[in-house]
């Protein structure tokens, strides 16, 4: 079951399930515990390049049967990289390629593929 999109005002990210009545998928919890998942660090990336980097990273791993989740680090800052990251992920979530996106603490999110 995919998370519910709540827009940019959600405290836990645009796809937060908080208050939706949905049960947390165990794959989300398992992904959060993994430290060996592929990671894209956007800290030093020019905002004009972020969308392309996110799309390339998702495309690189979405068909890989050994990768169920990826982490994207955008940092805390002013939220510019975060906003661009979530805008780039939205079409994948809308098309069922991404099961959920969980925003943790510290300026990063975990992307769970629907495999």
**pLDDT tens digit sequence for 41-93:** 999 999 999 999 999 999 999 999 999 999 999 999 899 999 999 999 999 99
Q: Are 99 and 112 in contact (CB under 8 A)?
A: yes
Q: Which residue has the higher pLDDT, 22 or 80?
A: 80
What phi and psi, each to the nearest 5 degrees, are found at residue 45?
A: -85, 135
How far is the C-alpha of 84 from the C-alpha of 79, rounded, in Å?
9
What class has domain 26-113? Answer: alpha beta
Rg of the chain, C-alpha, whole Å: 13
Report whether pLDDT(100) > 90. Answer: no
How far is the C-alpha of 7 from the C-alpha of 94, rounded, in Å?
14
Q: What is the pTM of this model?
A: 0.72
């Amino acid at each position: 079951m995919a998370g519910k999109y709540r827009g940019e005002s959600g405290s836990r990210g645009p796809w937060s399930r908080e208050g939706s009545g949905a049960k947390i998928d165990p794959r989300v919890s398992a992904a959060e515990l993994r430290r060996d998942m592929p990671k894209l660090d956007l800290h030093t990336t020019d905002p004009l390049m972020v969308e392309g980097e996110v799309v390339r990273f998702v495309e690189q791993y979405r068909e890989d049967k050994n990768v169920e989740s990826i982490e994207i680090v955008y940092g805390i800052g002013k939220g510019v990289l975060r906003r661009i990251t979530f805008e780039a992920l939205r079409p994948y979530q809308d098309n069922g390629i991404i099961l959920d996106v969980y925003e943790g603490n510290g300026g990063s999110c975990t992307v769970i593929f629907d495999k």
